[in-house]
Amino acid sequence: MFTEKDNALIEKEFEGLRLASLKRCADQKEYEMVIKAFDFARVAHDGVRRRSGEPYIIHPIAVSKIVVQEIGLGYKSIVAALVHDVVEDTEYTIEDISRLFGVKIASLVDGLTKIKSAFDNSTTQQAENFKRVLLTLNDDVRVILIKLADRLHNMRTIEYMPQHKKDKILSETMYIFIPLAHRLGLYSIKSEMEDIWLQHSMPVDYNSIKARIEQTVAERGCSIDEFIQPIAASLTQTGFRFTITKRTKTPYSIWRKMKDKNISFEQVYDLYAVRIVFEPEGDEPERIQCWHIYSLITQIYLSKTDRIRDWVSTPKVNGYEALHCTVMGKMGNWIEVQIRTTRMDDLAERGIAAHWTYKGATPSEKEMDNWLDNVRDVLENPDVNALTFLDNFHKELFSSIIYVYTPKGESKSLIKGATALDFAYSIHSEIGDKAIAAKANFKLVPLSYELRNGDQIEIITAESQTPQREWLEFVKTPKARSIISDAFKSEIKDYLSNGKKILDAKLKELGVEPKTRVYTKLAEGYDLNTKEELFSRIGAGMLDLSTLPKKLRKNSSSKWVRYWNLQFFRNPEVNQEVKEKSEKKDINKSEDYVLRENPLEKTLSYKVALCCRPIPGDEVIGFIGDDSEVTVHKKGCAEAIKLAANDADKIVKAKWNKHTILSSLARISLRGIDRIGVLNEVTQYITLVLSVNIRKISIETHDGIFEGYIDLYVHNLEDLEEIIETLGKIKGIMDVSRGDISNINENINNEL
């Protein structure tokens, strides 16, 4: 039972929702429906508490607040959010919801219930359910919007989750929900989820960046106010009605930029941004008024022209409209300025939900509708493999968008990397099926031509043409791939069957027993997504099996171990013994799996993922493989995020033990002013002072500047950070940071 304190908390939380709902309800009847939903949910969840200890009803109230205040949906969505967990967690049914609140609200709750079950099931079923749930886009996109609100609140309270569930939720959020929020234009929700992901996945990086931001704001805050003053004065004098706000980049966006560009915090020059939101006046187009404000700003400050982003002429595919420019402040620092109308700002904050408010008033609406249509086309194909769909859907969500034009000048948006054939299928399936070539800017090009932003494309067709299997080699969009695959359904089935027979026979010749684990490893070795794709290509004669022995060796699941002298070696006897032990061991996923080294046998209790190669001390996540061995990835590793989102029951709580004997490969990147002896000073310190072995050095010099990297072996993250800190003090070195070594995996495998 709840205490008086609990009931007081419930009333307080609902009061905030009640006031927000009054603004969104059109009449007293709608408002009473919200009250009715609250009373119903409160009784249904009576006595139930969340992991945090607070009454469970606080969660649906919080989700409803996000729905109304941060997304701006109406009373039906508020009601659905309030009762969204009732069917899943109590004895009430969808029929009960329909009887009490109507068919439409019941439909929303049904979609939300399916989404919840989708992310609680096993791998294939989870992906299949998610695919089915996204079909609600064909009926009511509000289901997805409410689910995003639900996920945001779960992220806000994630600290109360056990670690293995926390890792599952974080990975799902990064792999699916964050890019989905981005594509639907919900920037504030996307940014908050990104920061929470970073805070719990990489807490050291998050706290460091957050502290640096606070320090920078304290040091430079006044200079931003001084930067704004002349702009505000000019806009006021010209007669604009406006507001100007200042902000810093989020910790996640800074972290992402530092990782992608391999730069330090100090090198993130666009740390600050200033946003101008104005009320458009008169009949002059909003786009022209945005450019007018830009001209006023550039009369005061120097503009960095290559950083202008014109999303008022061509909105993003998610509907975002704004004019971005970067100008030089008086302190010599670059500052981004975002220029929006009030309508554009509302679209930016509320995303697709705001499109209903401005229906027909914005060119961005067409882009959003086109994207939703493309998603529906792929979803409605019953032959699309669920896991393949989920992977392709994720890739499309993350992809950058380019714009190309038809011969009549009509704009078409496609993902970056799309080909002329993708363009053909985006127009119509029959045009794609009969395409034989294309013209890009009036020049003849093949169908595999990769489109560039601004290209004008004409498709050349022939009545005798039919889809070709080799087209699957270069098309990028899910829609094109789905249509082409559908044309070869019966043929693909034959290829699958024959390919599996051919592969099994070849494996038996090599003394390898055909198993799912072997198929999966070979698919990875041939850079394919699934074992079905592997069979299909073999059956079609598109795969060279002469390299099969090499692929088997390269993807062997045996443990790689290292001598004290830091050279890798392979010990079949030890590996077999370790493997037998691991197969007998039942790993408890709710407890810490300790990552240990065995100094006597020079072995590890885990495998290091070659895609990110974590070292002891890194924030890591573990996965139990088919061979019962645990493989560890960095938590920020894209492959780890994908694995956790697709196969959550294989997650292990990995925890480092002290490593003192075996060492790990790491890379440090250096940049500085070239002088005689600087490289010698660096290498002497590493080898003589620290007694660390260097594997490889690559340094280039140009115009008095040197830059490059050093690959070396360290025991743990602490050792690496000490090296980086000390090298940064050497005269002439301007920047030292940890580098990415995922691109040297092939060389390592060759040495093995």
Domains of the chain, each with CATH number or no CATH: 4-160 (1.10.3210.10), 203-362 (3.30.460.10), 366-487 (3.10.20.30), 489-554 (no CATH), 561-655 (no CATH), 664-751 (3.30.70.260)
Report the b/e string of 460-472 with b at 16+ CB within 10 A: ebeeeeebbbebb
pLDDT value for 583: 45
Q: What is the helix (H) or strand (E) element at residue 617, kind and residue range?
A: none
Mean pLDDT of the chain: 81
Q: How confident is the model at residue 484 (pLDDT cuts 50, 70, 90)?
A: confident
Q: Is the pLDDT of residue 75 over 80?
A: yes
Q: Higher-confidence residue: 507 or 360?
A: 507
Cβ atoms of 335 and 274 within 8 Å: the answer is: yes
Q: How confident is the model at residue 585 (pLDDT cuts 50, 70, 90)?
A: low
pLDDT value for 292: 96
Q: Higher-confidence residue: 444 or 705?
A: 444
Which residue from 576, 596, 574, 573 is spatially nearest to 584, judged by alpha carbons? Answer: 576
Could you give the CA distance from residue 727 to residue 646 in angstroms, rounded to a whole number?
41
Measured CA distances, 721 to 200, 708, 725, 731, 737 (Å) = 21, 18, 6, 18, 9
Q: Is the pLDDT of residue 571 over 60?
A: no
Q: Is the pLDDT of residue 365 over 70?
A: no
Q: What is the pLDDT of residues 209-227, one digit of tens each?
A: 999 998 888 877 678 889 9
Residue with tokens 């229906």: 359
The encoded tokens of residue 261 equal 């560009």
pTM over 0.85: no
pLDDT value for 528: 76
Could you give the CA distance from residue 66 to residue 272 in angstroms, rounded to a whole number?
27
Which residue from 315, 402, 311 is spatially nearest to 352, judged by alpha carbons? Answer: 315
The encoded tokens of residue 400 equal 């950058």
Could you give the CA distance from residue 46 to residue 467 in angstroms, rounded to a whole number?
59
pLDDT value for 392: 61
pLDDT value for 738: 87
Which residue from 594, 598, 616, 517 is spatially nearest to 561, judged by alpha carbons? Answer: 598
Q: Which amino acid is at 472?
A: L
Q: Higher-confidence residue: 581 or 401?
A: 401
Rounded to 5°, the CA angle 487-492-493 comes to 125
Q: What is the pLDDT of residues 326-340, one digit of tens each?
A: 999 887 788 899 999
